[in-house]
Amino acid sequence: MIWLTIILLITTTLLGGIFFVLFRWAVKDGQFDDPEEAKYVIFREDEAGKGVKPQRH
């Protein structure tokens, strides 16, 4: 029973460390710089294709 507790503690500590490192990497990479920007991405994509006519089949 004690071995199961030790294994669970080690596993959760390792997983927590991995997720913490991934979170720090995402912050350093700029993933959370501007969360409001995601709302406006769709409008920029539409503006980029304004000169293209839709094809009729």
Query: Helices in the chain by DSSP H: which ranges?
Result: 2-29, 41-48
Residues in the chain: 57
Reported as half-sphere exposure (CB side, CA atoms, 13 A), residue 57 has a value of: 0
Tell me the two tokens of residue 35: 């969360």
CA distances from 50 to 5, 12, 55 (A): 61, 51, 14
User: Domain segments of the chain: what residues?
Assistant: 1-27
What is d(CA 14, CA 45) in angstroms, rounded to the nearest whole number?
40
Residue 53 has a pLDDT of 61
Residue 47 has a pLDDT of 56
Each residue's pLDDT tens digit, 1-57? 999 999 999 999 999 999 999 999 999 998 888 888 878 888 876 555 565 565 666
